[in-house]
A and B are shown apart, each in its own frame.
Chain A
Amino acid sequence: MASYKTNEFKGGLKIMLDGDPYNIVENEFVKPGKGQAFNRVKIKNLKTGRVVERTFKSGDSVEAADVHDTELQYLYNDGEVWHFMHPETFEQLAADEAAVGEAVKWIKEQDMCSVTLWNGVPLSVEPPNFVVLEITETDPGLKGDTSGGGGKPATLETGAVVNVPLFVQIGEMIKVDTRTGAYVSRARDE
């Protein structure tokens, strides 16, 4: 089984700890001049997203986690799991609710997503940074108000609710930044 020594530790390295995959967020080498060396790390549990601190004795080995990112196309949700497909091999993979997480608010069929696989199974799903979605519900704004001053909530076709300018109407396509959940523009302004 692959493993890493502490002197290979750096941000982004994926390791196994207590049965869960972790990503090293920060690694600090700590050593008294005349004493034991340690690697003090901040690590993120890739299943729960929780960041914890841990200290390793320098020179020790840690099991590597078989974790990598891949670009997959979202196909459909069958009511239980979300199906994705590799665009070239056509290999299909299913992601459960825990893996899809917040991405469910943004993705629609055929979107390309960055999917993190652990031992070949989807562990988490990142939606595209920008998505274009249709507004299915919002209060009608005042006619002629194109200033963009103020805003109102709008429900999108995926169910996400974002704050949009008053002039944006039901049925329009808008561009949203999924990292912040913020409205960017009307899609036809592109």
Chain B
Amino acid sequence: MCPAPETNKRVPQPAQVDLNAWRPSAAQPVLRARAQMLAGIRAFFAAREVLEVETPMLSQAATTDPALASMRVAGLGYWLHTSPELPMKRLLASGLGPIYQICRVFRDGERGRLHHPEFTLLEWYRPGWTLSALMQEVADLVHDLLHRLELPPKPPLELPVEFIRYRELFQCGLDIDPWHCSPRELQAVAQARGLGAGLKLDTDAWLDFLLTHCLEPQLGQHGLSFVQDYPPSQAALARLSEDDPPHAQRFELYWQGIELANGFQELTDAAQQRQRFAEDQAVRAASGLAPVAQDEQFLAALEAGLPESAGVALGLDRLLMLACGAERIDQVLAFPIERA
């Protein structure tokens, strides 16, 4: 039997030319609602005397967070920021007072129904505030924006607010204590639900697995749901509580099963921060990720003194999605990456 000559392979289909690819993927009322949202945020913070700032998108340092991938700009060799957190904290350390920023941030490899490699964050900092005061302000802002948006159909205007501890979320939802469990036990919880076959994960990754696959879908189905008090291993840049066992003073906001915001009682201790960077770099090395230049200017600012602050970052594309009932992030973007 002769091998088939090259020309007798299956004829490839002619490439589909999408004549509408130049058009925006968001409908006009949604793009108008986006503008109303941005104007609303500026009015909200102007009334509360929080200062709008801009910090560089380009940095000599990349994020050390092993769960995030910074994009590098050819030529200059600088990195696009994954969030404006570190330079904003430098402004706080300089004594500027309460500040906010609306900016595009960039995260490599993140693409899906709720993810886009370039998206819009609102990030703000409240020197001298507690985390609970900040959570209340987040809820106030969301309500304020929902009132302003002129959308058919009108989004819900009054959302009940609830607070749940991370530990209780796992104890009630999955009958497991996230402070005292092994990867093997967490895998058994997943397998009992027919999930996680063939996966090899560490404790935190299993917790993320169970959170995303089993718990998140129920969060915020009746309103705004704040999950707080995270495991110390998931502190990121949050400070740890002094109780025993400690928890990270961190919260996440969920609405309709979707993560919208992440807040910290900010870590202000320079030595601890340096230690966390070192731990991040070690995790990166162990998982085969390239070492990255860490932000020494930020560490210098912490050494000079960061005021006690609470800070939060809120994903504006997702907020807009939920307000206008969109299923995919593409429905609220003028042009998604595939058409950029």
Contact = CB atoms under 8 A, between A and B. Distances in A.
A89 B201 contact: no
A35 B205 contact: yes
Interface in B183-238: 194-201, 204-205, 207-209, 211-213, 234, 236
Interface stretch (B1-9, B54-62, B142-150): B1-9
B213 A89 contact: no
B109 interface: yes
B243 to A, nearest CB: 22
B112 interface: yes
A56 B5 CA distance: 38
A174 B112 CA distance: 46
Contacts of B200: 57
B39 to A, nearest CB: 26
A37 B109 contact: yes
A70 B209 contact: no
A176 B36 CA distance: 55
A33 B194 CA distance: 25
Contacts of A40: 213
Given A34-B234, A36-B204, A55 B209 contact: yes
Nearest to B313: A33
B4 A32 contact: no
Contact of B197 (A54, A88, A89): A54
B208 A32 contact: yes
B203 to A, nearest CB: 11
Given A35-B234, A54-B198, A29 B112 contact: yes
A30 interface: yes
Contact of A33 (B197, B213, B252): B252
Contact of B110 (A27, A31, A86): A31
Interface residues of A, number: 31
B5 A89 contact: yes
Question: Range of interface residues on chain B?
Answer: 35 or more
B8 A71 contact: no
B231 to A, nearest CB: 11
Contacts of A86: 4, 8
B308 interface: no
Nearest to B108: A7
Interface in B90-148: 109-115
A32 to B, nearest CB: 5
A89 B4 contact: yes
Most buried by B among A32, A33, A59, A68: A33
Interface in A76-103: 86, 88-89, 91-92
Contacts of A70: 10
19 contacts: A18-B198, A29-B114, A30-B212, A31-B112, A33-B259, A35-B207, A36-B67, A36-B204, A36-B205, A38-B213, A53-B195, A55-B195, A55-B196, A55-B213, A57-B200, A57-B205, A70-B10, A86-B4, A89-B5
A-B CB proximity, top 9 nearest: A29-B112, A35-B208, A36-B205, A36-B208, A89-B4, A88-B8, A30-B212, A34-B236, A33-B262
Interface of B: 1-2, 4-5, 8, 10, 65, 67, 109-115, 194-201, 204-205, 207-209, 211-213, 234, 236, 252, 259, 262, 315
Interface of A: 7, 18, 27-38, 40, 53-59, 68-71, 86, 88-89, 91-92
